[in-house]
C-alpha cells in the first residue's frame, strides 16, 4: 500500500515518529528511575518499553533486575527468560536466571542453568559464585530426598492471633 496523497504523507511521518519515540522515552525514563534505585517505579516503565520490539530484550532484563534488587527473585524468572530468548546477552541474565529458579524451588533446573552458564562464562566473580551455588544445589537436592525425624505441631492453645 502506497501513501500517495500529500496530506496523508505529511500526517503519517509525525504519527510514525511518535510511535517510535514513545518506546524510547519510556526506556530513558525507566533507566533514570533504575539509576536512582526506584525499582518499583521503573518496572511499569520498562514494561511499556518492552512492548517496543527494539527495546524488548533489554527492558525484560531490566525488569528482572528490578525484581532481583527488591528481593523478589521468584518474580524475576520470566523476565530473564524473555531477555535471553530475545537474544539479549549479558552474563548476569543467565547467572541470575539460575538463582530465580532456585527461589522458585526448581533446584534441578537451576543447577542445569548454572552448569550451562559455566560452560561459557567469563566473569570471574560470577564463575566463583556459580560453582559454589552448584555445590549448594547438590546438597539441597540430597537433603530433599531424606526423611525428616521432626514433626511440627501447631500449638493453638498457646498461639494468639496476630
Per domain, the residue ranges of the chain are: 21-88, 90-144
pLDDT, tens digit, 9 for 90 and up, residues 17-74:
444 444 468 899 999 999 999 999 999 999 999 998 889 999 999 999 999 999 999 9
The grid cell for 14 is 509525525
Q: What is the pLDDT of residue 13?
A: 47
- Its CATH architecture, for the domain 21-88, is Alpha Horseshoe (1.25)
pLDDT reading at 14 higher than 90: no
Confidence label for 142 from pLDDT (cuts 50, 70 and 90): confident
**pLDDT over 70, % of the chain:** 85
- Our CA angle for 37, 41, 44, nearest 5°, is 130
Residues in the chain: 162
Confidence label for 10 from pLDDT (cuts 50, 70 and 90): low
Match 530475545 to its residue by C-alpha cell: 86
Q: What is the pLDDT of residue 156?
A: 80
What is the DSSP code string of 88-128? ---HHHHHHHHHHHHHTT-HHHHHHHHHHHHHH---HHHHH
Instruction: For the beta carbon of residue 142, count every other beta carbon within 10 angstroms.
Output: 9
Amino acid at each position: 500500500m502506497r501513501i500517495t496523497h500529500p496530506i496523508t504523507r505529511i500526517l503519517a511521518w509525525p504519527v510514525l515518529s511518535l510511535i517510535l519515540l514513545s518506546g524510547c522515552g519510556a526506556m530513558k525514563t525507566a533507566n533514570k528511575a533504575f539509576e536512582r534505585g526506584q525499582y518499583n517505579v521503573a518496572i511499569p516503565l520498562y514494561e511499556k518499553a518492552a512492548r517496543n520490539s527494539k527495546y524488548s530484550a533489554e527492558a525484560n532484563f531490566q525488569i528482572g533486575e528490578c525484581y532481583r534488587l527488591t528481593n523478589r527473585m521468584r518474580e524475576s524468572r520470566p523476565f530473564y527468560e524473555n531477555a535471553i530468548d530475545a537474544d539479549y546477552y549479558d552474563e548476569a541474565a543467565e547467572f541470575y536466571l539460575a538463582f530465580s529458579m532456585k527461589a522458585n524451588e526448581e533446584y534441578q533446573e537451576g543447577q542445569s542453568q548454572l552448569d550451562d552458564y559455566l560452560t561459557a562464562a567469563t566473569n570471574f566473580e560470577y564463575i566463583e559464585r556459580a560453582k559454589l551455588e552448584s555445590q549448594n544445589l547438590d546438597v539441597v537436592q540430597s537433603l530433599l530426598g531424606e526423611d525428616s525425624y521432626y514433626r511440627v505441631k501447631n500449638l493453638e492453645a498457646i498461639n494468639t492471633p496476630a
